[in-house]
Amino acid sequence: MNENQREFLENCKKNNVIGKIQINHNLSKYTWFGVAGNAEIFYMPPNIEELAKVLEINRDKLPVTVIGAGSNIIIRDGGIFGLVIKLGKEFSQIKLHNDCIEVGAATYDRVLSNYCQKNEIGGMEFYFGIPGTLGGAVRMNAGCYNYETKDVFIKAKCVDYRGQVSEISNSKELFSYRESNIPQDMIICDVYMQKKIASKNAISLKMKEVDDQRKKAQPQQIKTAGSTFKNPKDQTDKKAWEIIEEAGLKNFELQGIYFSSKHSNFIVNNQTKSANIIEDFGEYVRSDVKKKLGISLNWEIKIFGER
């Protein structure tokens, strides 16, 4: 145990912190790629008060990283210094209010979609196909088939890295393509979503459409993180997968990492040695596309940790 870890544990003990704290905790099982380094300190808070308490105790001493379902991240082999937060199952409650739905940020998108179908609330069908949590969906402005999180988001209750709780409301500037401008030092805890009444049949049909389209266009049951690169809308109308194919990289492989034959922007990880190789694969693709086509591809996947 190092000095950071010892001091952190002592402070948590002094302040009667509740929740699971783990030291040098391997994060492989928290990422869809299935390979990752360790968290120096890993904490799963049971509620917003304990989360705020821990962040206040830490108060900028150690860097903080938050992860959701790990469906859009690479965690490098050297692991993440400081405190890694993952909201526990206690943050997965859904409450129906008169004018909105309140959703815990650890709720899986698919669970929300199913809940809304049951309760005849429209507009959340697109979440049926996205494998992340609501916190990740808000951070990434996740979406598909012309729907995005920004279309249904009202506001979120967040805790910043110093333990201050605040609310952030939707605005024109808050979201853009696969990004949100919610400050990087905010942990999204509770999300308020629009409640539009719709018929169960109509909702079921839309969910089926989403599911069918996804099964047709995307690989299933593989180690991936979804779209690797954003569509470079500022440079071309072509999608990232088209650009990858045009650059002749559809069948490129690096030590067990390759693109899915069903979707040329989905990386398949078929090895268990290293997360760094996945990043190397992506960086090779970026530089080769730049060299051959002059297009800059930017990562949609978020990359954390040390090499």
Ligand X SMILES: Cc1cc2nc3c(=O)[nH]c(=O)nc-3n(C[C@H](O)[C@H](O)[C@H](O)COP(=O)(O)OP(=O)(O)OC[C@H]3O[C@@H](n4cnc5c(N)ncnc54)[C@H](O)[C@@H]3O)c2cc1C
User: Which residues make up the interface to ligand X (CB under 6 A)?
Assistant: 32, 66-73, 87, 105, 129-133, 135-137, 139-140, 142-144, 187-188, 224-226, 302
Report strand pairing: 20-26 vs 179-180: unpaired
Quote the least distance from Cβ 91 to ligand X, whole Å.
Answer: 8
Contact 266, 218 (CB under 8 A): yes
Quote the least distance from Cβ 81 to ligand X, whole Å.
Answer: 15
7 or 170, CB closer to ligand X? 170
Q: In this structure, which long-range contacts are made by residues 286-291, counting pairs with CB atoms below 8 Å and at least 24 apart in sequence?
A: 286/229, 288/247, 288/249, 288/252, 289/243, 289/244, 289/247, 289/249
Determine whether 178 is an active site residue.
yes
Tokens found for residue 284: 């090779």
177 or 248, CB closer to ligand X? 177
Supply angle C-alpha 87, 88, 91, rounded to 5: 80
Quote the least distance from Cβ 64 to ligand X, whole Å.
Answer: 10
130 or 278, CB closer to ligand X? 130
Quote the least distance from Cβ 249 to ligand X, whole Å.
Answer: 20
Quote the least distance from Cβ 273 to ligand X, whole Å.
Answer: 20
10 or 60, CB closer to ligand X? 60
Which string of DSSP letters, residue by residue, matches 106-173?
Answer: TSBHHHHHHHHHHTTEES-GGGGG--SBHHHHHHHT-EETTEEGGGTEEEEEEEETTS-EEEEE--TT
Determine whether 227 is an active site residue.
yes
Report strand pairing: 64-67 vs 80-86: parallel
* Integer-rounded Cα radius of gyration of the chain: 20
Among candidate residues 50, 125, 279, 300, the one labeled active-site is: 300
Residue 179: CB atoms within 10 Å: 13
Determine whether 214 is an active site residue.
no
Among candidate residues 180, 227, 264, 274, the one labeled active-site is: 227
Among candidate residues 71, 76, 178, 274, the one labeled active-site is: 178
Tokens found for residue 277: 């190789």
163 or 293, CB closer to ligand X? 163
Q: Among candidates 110, 105, 7, 111, which has minimal Cα distance to 51?
A: 105
Q: DSSP character for 29?
A: G
Q: Catalytic residue numbers?
A: 178, 227, 300
